Amino acid sequence: MIENRNIITATSFLSMFFLGVAASLIGAAARNIGLSPFQIGLMITIQNVGFMIAVLISGAMSDSHEKPKILFVGSLILGVAFATFYLSSNFALNLFIMFTIGVGIGTYEGVTDAMLLDIHKKREGLFININHFFVTFGSIIITAYLIFLQMNWRKSITQSAILVLILAAVFAFTKLGMNKVKSETYLARLNFLTREKLIIAIFFATAIVVGIEAGTIGILTTYLMDLRGFTQITSKIGLLIFLVGMASGRLLLGYLTPKEKISPIILALFGACVLVFGALYLIDFGTITYAVIFLAGIAMSALLPLMLTLVGLIYKDIAGTALGAIKVAIPLGGILIPFLMSVLANSVGFKASLMLFPAAFLVSFLILYYQLRTLGSIERAVA
């Protein structure tokens, strides 16, 4: 059996890398596959449904079952789904396979952060930030492969399937030996969490952060081309700079943020996002636009990992259930915020609709400021 915690940590990071690959698969490969806009939307929606179901169930199970065994099941499902995706041209069959891809990555999202909280007792924020860095890294790699390197998408997804099945084998022979047995039922734990105002506030803020990330990835190239005079190539470079800012910010802020400063840093980052995103969409910075885009990526990069770390520390006895409940906001935000922006763009115009992003960050800042102020210091919360 594998009990080395460094190996388990590295395997968790690789799992999240393939979460990033899977989450960006349709966006990167849709034209290669030949999907219509309607089919793309349906694929993304059904993937998010699978994700939501899996993140709730796997998060709850991680409080009472061996986490590597749950990840073994998730890896097996994801590996088989990767291997069979669009082997047949039957759209209904591939829609079901996309649902199972959502289940696989939802299992990774539901369990790996809770597992890292079990393994690393001193620098929880650093390891969860690194974990989510690999999500962004996976998205960057699959995008670069399929858009810039023109690699055969079928070959790349088959390679991914093989590697994910190897991860499944590693998880099958992994044991943490720190299983927690919960006397409360899942519904009792969930009922407790739904009465916690901090959980509700972070759920809302998580949906905002993830939704704005998805919205920015979706519209940044269009914004740069339509309103700032960028070309097809230079606008794509802007998108990659944003993703690089996200990735580097997660590493840098994860390393620099001590446990006792998580709350004020979350608030500071929300405040920075209000200013940077507002400036990005209001002001034409000309030649330094790339620098502002990079700062936008850094400003929002650590928000999700740090909020998850905060929840895991405060509700450490039921961390899996708490994190699973929070992470339901991930697909919800990814659907609702871009949809709201599209409605606003249709009614008030594209440029005005972009103000949704700094406005949403401001609302999140105010809600979290009140909740974190009443919570008090993180030292007392996790004592």
Helix (H, G, I), strand (E, B) or coil at 258: coil
Claim to verify: residue 10 and residue 126 sit in the same structural domain: yes
Same-domain check for residues 248 and 300:
yes
pLDDT in tens, 298-324: 999 999 999 999 998 898 888 888 999
* DSSP secondary structure of 179-241: ----SS-HHHHHHHHHT-HHHHHHHHHHHHHHHHHHHHHHHHHHHHHHHH---HHHHHHHHHH
Q: Are residues 213 and 351 in the same domain?
A: yes
105 and 216 both lie in a single domain: no
Q: Is residue 383 part of a domain?
A: no
Q: Which residue has the tokens 């700079």?
A: 241
Domain, as residue range, for 232: 190-376
Q: Would the pLDDT of 107 be above 80? A: yes
For residue 180, being part of any structural domain is answered with: no
Give Rg (Cα) of the chain: 20
Domain boundary among 106, 140, 174: 174
Q: Of 125, 141, 174, which residue is a domain's last?
A: 174
Residue 195 burial (CB count, 10 A): 8
Q: Rounded CA gap, 126 and 207, in Å? A: 22
User: At which of 144, 174, 204 does a domain end?
Assistant: 174
Nearest to 8 by CA among 85, 66, 95, 89: 66
- pLDDT value of position 335: 83
- When the pLDDT of each residue in the chain is averaged and rounded to a whole number, the result is 87
* DSSP one-letter code for 328: T
- In this structure, the answer to whether residues 151 and 218 fall within a common structural domain is no
Tell me if 117 is assigned to some domain: yes
For residue 41, name the pLDDT band (cuts at 50, 70, 90).
confident
Pair 235, 358 in one domain: yes
Same domain? For 237 and 362 the reply is: yes
Q: Give the whole-number percent of the chain exceeding pLDDT 90.
A: 46
Residues 79 and 204 in one domain: no
Any domain includes 33: yes
Q: For residue 284, tell me if it sits in a domain.
A: yes
- The token pair that represents 315 in the structure block: 């509700």
Task: Determine the pLDDT at residue 76.
Answer: 97
Domain count, the chain: 2
| pLDDT > 50? residue 124 | yes
Closest CA to 47 of 18, 76, 72, 26: 26
| Residue 225 and residue 117 share a domain | no
For residue 75, CA distances in Å to 5, 70, 203 come to 19, 9, 26
- The alpha carbon dihedral of 32, 33, 38, 43 has a sign of negative
- Residue 114 covered by a domain: yes
- pLDDT above 80 (res 165): yes
218 pLDDT above the threshold of 80: no
- Max CA-CA distance within the chain? 60
Helices then strands, each counted (H, E), the chain: 17, 0
Q: Are residues 52 and 194 in the same domain?
A: no
Do residue 137 and residue 214 come from a single domain? no
- Distance separating alpha carbons of residues 167 and 82, to the nearest angstrom: 13
Bridge partner list, 2: 174
Assigned domain for 152 exists? yes
Q: Please determine, for residue 327, whether its predicted confidence score (pLDDT) is greater than 50.
A: yes
Domain annotation covers residue 381: no
CATH (domain of 34): 1.20.1250.20
Residues 352 and 259 in one domain: yes
- In whole angstroms, give the CA distance from residue 372 to residue 267: 9
